[in-house]
Structure 1
Amino acid sequence: MAKKKKVPSPCIDVCKFRREGHCIGCSMTKPQKKMFKALKKPEHQEAFVVMLRHQQSDMGKYTHWTEAYLKKCAKKGVKPPFAA
C-alpha cells in the first residue's frame, strides 16, 4: 500500500496577523500554525484543513484562500483534503 502524501500547510505565505490574531491570508492564529506543524498523520492534517475552512467560512473574507491552496496542492502533486 502506498504511503499517503503529506498535506501541504494551509499557510499561503501572507502571514499578517490581524482580525483578532488571525492571519488575513489563511485565518490561522499563531498557535494554530504551530499545531498544524505538530500534526504527523495525514488524516489529522486533512481534518485540520477541513476545520480551517469552516473557520474561514464563519469569519468571512477568506474566499481567496481556496484558490491559492488548491494551486499549492497541485504544485506538490497532492489531492486537496476537500472537494473544490
Structure 2
Amino acid sequence: MKKIPSPCISVCKLTRDGHCIGCAMTKTQKKMFKTLRKPDHQAAFVTLLRHQQTVLGRYRHWLPAYLRKCAKKNVKPPFAP
C-alpha cells in the first residue's frame, strides 16, 4: 500500500479555535500526521479527521480537493467517497 497523502489541501489558515479552514486539522494534528509511517495509521487518521469535519461543519469543500490530490499522486483514497 502506498503512502497516503496528507489531508492538508494547502489553505492553512486557522480559526480562533485552532482548526484549519481548509482541512480542519489543528497544528498538533498536522505535526502528528507527519510522524505516522504506516499507511494503516494514516488511513485511520484521515477517517478520524473526516468525523471531526462532520462535527465542526463547513468542510464540504475538502473532499473534492482531497480526492484530486489522491488522484494526482495516483493513490487510492483511504475511504470510499
Q: CA deviation at 1:24?
A: 0.2
Picking from 11, 25, 32, the partner of 2:22 is: 25
The structural deviation recorded for 1:19 is 4.4
With normalisation by structure 1, the TM-score equals 0.95
Q: Equivalent pairs: percent with the same residue?
A: 70
Amino acid at match of 1:5: K
Q: RMSD value over aligned CA atoms? A: 0.6
Q: Quick check: which has more Rg, 1 or 2? A: 1
- Equivalent residue, structure 2, for 1:50: 47
Instruction: Name the CA distance, whole Å, in 1 between partners of 2:16 and 2:40.
Output: 29
Closer, same or farther: CA 41–69 of 1 in aligned 2, 3 Å: same
List aligned pairs for 1:3-82, cutoff 5 A. 4-82=1-79
Structure with the higher fraction of residues in strand conformation: 1
Deviation at 1:60? 0.2
Could you list the runs of 4 or more consecutive aligned residues of structure 1 that deviate by over 6 angstroms after TM superposition?
A: none
Q: With structure 2 as the length reference, what TM-score do the two structures score?
A: 0.98
Rounded Cα–Cα distance in structure 1 between residues aligned with 2:16 and 2:36: 25
Q: Which runs of 5+ in 2 are unaligned?
A: none
In structure 1, list runs of 5 or more residues that go unmatched.
none
